[in-house]
Amino acid sequence: MKLCCDGCDYLTNVDDMGCRIWVVWNPKVYKVVDSVISQQHRCCHVSKDGGLFWLSAIYGSNCSKERLDLWQSLKETRLKVGSAPWLLGGDFNILRFVEDDAKGVPAKTEYMDMFNKCIDEIEIDDFLARGCKYTWCVNWKEINQSSLRKLDRIMCNEACLYQFKTCEAFFETPGLSDHCSMLEVLNCPKPFRYQTFWEEHNTYKSIVEETSLQSSEGYGQIKDNNLK
């Protein structure tokens, strides 16, 4: 670990819980105090330049019944967090909505309802995110709708949104892992906005038509060769 995180500090549950979660930071930038540790959840108190927030790293179990322990851990953490900013991210290993499965599911399951009930109780919600809609696939090289799901999320409470007004979540194009990487940029530039006056330029139409005919490479869920 020291070889790949030279100069960084880190926390993990590798010693007694099977190396499920790593939290790594630059001690010259952040001060991190460990608070909650469980097999599926590690929560830290993070401070930087006078700003404070709580960070929860999540790795939900593949077992639905075991994830009940995760929901309970988050509820207990909510009491510690109080009204402070709280950022959560990771692999929750469960769908939140029926559309989180590319092939669709008939209806919410009992365990999906429990997940959403926990979200309501601890008063968090998804960040508005860009990038890949589905974050997990058995094999990204042989992508098909039957194997695409959104299992990874970045979530926060209202206080976090208020403190980090320009924050943005992004799910990157997948690499070696069967999950997409997640980024949470706390101070990002203003988002791109389309300007209608561009349409008045005499080369606008020709540029759009030319661009729409160009091929692109990517994974099925983000590839688009039909710009019109």
pLDDT tens digits along 37-61: 788 998 999 988 777 899 999 999 9
- 9, pLDDT greater than 60: yes
- pLDDT, residue 174, reads 75
Confidence (pTM): 0.75
Q: Residues 67, 68, 73, 75: is their CA dihedral positive or negative?
A: positive
- 80, pLDDT greater than 50: yes
Strand ranges (E), 38-138: 41-48, 51-59, 86-91, 124-126, 129-131, 136-137
- 216, pLDDT greater than 80: no
- pLDDT, residue 223, reads 43
Question: Which strand (E) or helix (H) includes residue 171?
Answer: strand 168-171
- Residue ranges of the domains in the chain? 9-189
Q: Which residue in 89, 74, 59, 164 sits closest to 122, CA to CA?
A: 74
Token pair of 86, please?
């709280």
CATH topology of domain 9-189: Deoxyribonuclease I; Chain A (3.60.10)
Q: Which residue has the higher pLDDT, 169 or 218?
A: 169
pLDDT digits (tens, 9 = 90+) for 104-113: 776 778 999 9
Cα distance between residue 17 and residue 62, in whole Å: 15
